[in-house]
Structure 1
Amino acid sequence: MVRIGYAGKRWWVIALSFFFALCFSVMALGPMWALWAPDWVSLVLIYWCLAVPMRVGVGVGWTMGLLLDVATFGLIGRLALTKALIAYIAQRFALRLRAFPVWQQACAVFLLLGMEALIITLLALMMGESDAGRPGRWVAVLIGAVLWPVIFISLRRMRRWARLP
């Protein structure tokens, strides 16, 4: 039986993209390359919040953050908080950001990732972690913004192939 509104749509593409983002985020890169790794889950979350804000939002952001907290053996809820906040802001400004060219979207992504890095740094300072102010966190923010056009185009092609709105 086919439900109205779901015919021909491949919603599993969203889950698959989050699965690969989680895999890239927890992949062991070594200490030198780990500094350069962007936050793949946040980038994918921002894209889907802009593309289908009625499907992907704060709940998905919270869930992905919790999964990432568990996968990285981090403080439970720290990344969930930041991902939920990113999802809320991206969802709130989705219509405006979608009208921007990709390079302006990359600037907005830079601000979102920077806000996330700032919150994570503040939480790490409050918890007394030794690597709270590591400069690699800010390099990863810049790399994430630079990679945004590639991620945007790749996920947009996937979304069009899946015939999602």
Structure 2
Amino acid sequence: MRARFWLGLTLFVALIAAVMPVPAWIEDFRPDWLLLVLGYWALALPNRVNVGTAWSLGLVLDILQGAVLGANALALSVVIYVLALHFQKIRNFSVWQQAIIISLLSIMVKLLSYWMSYLAYDIDFNDQQLWGALINFLLWPWLFYLMRRYRRHFRIS
């Protein structure tokens, strides 16, 4: 029960960070906080954080952002499915190799979200949003070690 609370708290903080307002010039460089935290938990505890968790949080993110309902949910659930499918291999990679995988998956999230929005609204693709993948690449090692320390401190398993 206690471990579930601490795990949920990290996901809640990531959700808040994902929708927190930032200046317009920083918006393109915003990391995918929810993807990073969900990705960590999907690799560390695949039995607790799975596609259903990603789908639920993606729907909440869609509602909070006012995006096409299901766009983030689909994108996050596909990416978490890929991570859950290969979690044993990815766990054995170095942190920088994991960062490359996370950044490629964040590009996949951006493209899937764009595709869903394009089908609904016929919008143009903003390639400046892909800078977030570079930021995710740089943040992953720091977040990985921080979350691992957090998981061990609160004995989340």
Q: Which residue of 2 aligns with 1:83?
A: 76
Q: 1:128 to 1:75 in 2, by over 3 A?
A: closer
Residue 129 of structure 2 is aligned to residue 137 of structure 1: yes
Q: Which segments of 5 or more consecutive residues in structure 1 lack a partner in the other structure?
A: 1-5
Partner of residue 17, structure 1: 10
Shift of 1:62: 0.2
State the shift of 1:126 in Å.
Answer: 2.4
Q: Which amino acid aligns with 1:150?
A: W
**1:150-161 matched pairs, under 5 angstroms:** 150-161=142-153
Structure 2 stretches lacking a partner, 5+ long: none
Superimposed CA distance per residue, residues 122-156 of structure 1 (whole angstroms, 9 cap, x where no aligned partner): 223323444x3112210011111111001101111
Alignment-derived partner of residue 162 in structure 1: 154
The alignment of Structure 1 onto Structure 2 pairs a total of residues equal to: 157
Contact 2:68–2:120 (CA<8 Å) still a contact in 1? no
Letter in 1 for 2:26: W
- Are the counterparts in 2 of residues 22 and 40 from structure 1 also a CA contact under 8 Å? yes
Which residue of 1 is the match for residue 28 of structure 2? 35
- Largest Rg, 1 or 2: 1
Please say if residues 11 and 162 of structure 1, whose CA atoms lie closer than 8 Å, have aligned partners that are also in contact. no
Q: Percent identity?
A: 33
CA contact (8 A) 2:58 2:72 kept: yes
Q: Find the partner of 2:105 among 112, 116, 121.
A: 112
What whole-Å deviation, never above 9, does each CA across 1:40-88 have from its counterpart, x for those lacking one? 0011010000000001000000011001001111111111101111111
Report how far residue 33 of structure 1 moved: 1.1
Question: Please, what is the CA RMSD of the aligned residues?
Answer: 1.4
- TM-score, normalised on structure 1? 0.90
Which residue of structure 1 aligns with residue 93 of structure 2? Answer: 100
SS of the equivalent of 2:46 reads coil
C-alpha displacement at 1:116, in angstroms?
1.1
Give distance in 2, aligned partners of 1:73 and 1:121: 14
Question: By how many angstroms is 1:10 displaced?
Answer: 2.2
Instruction: Normalising by structure 2, report the TM-score.
Output: 0.94
* One-letter identity of the residue aligned with 1:20: V
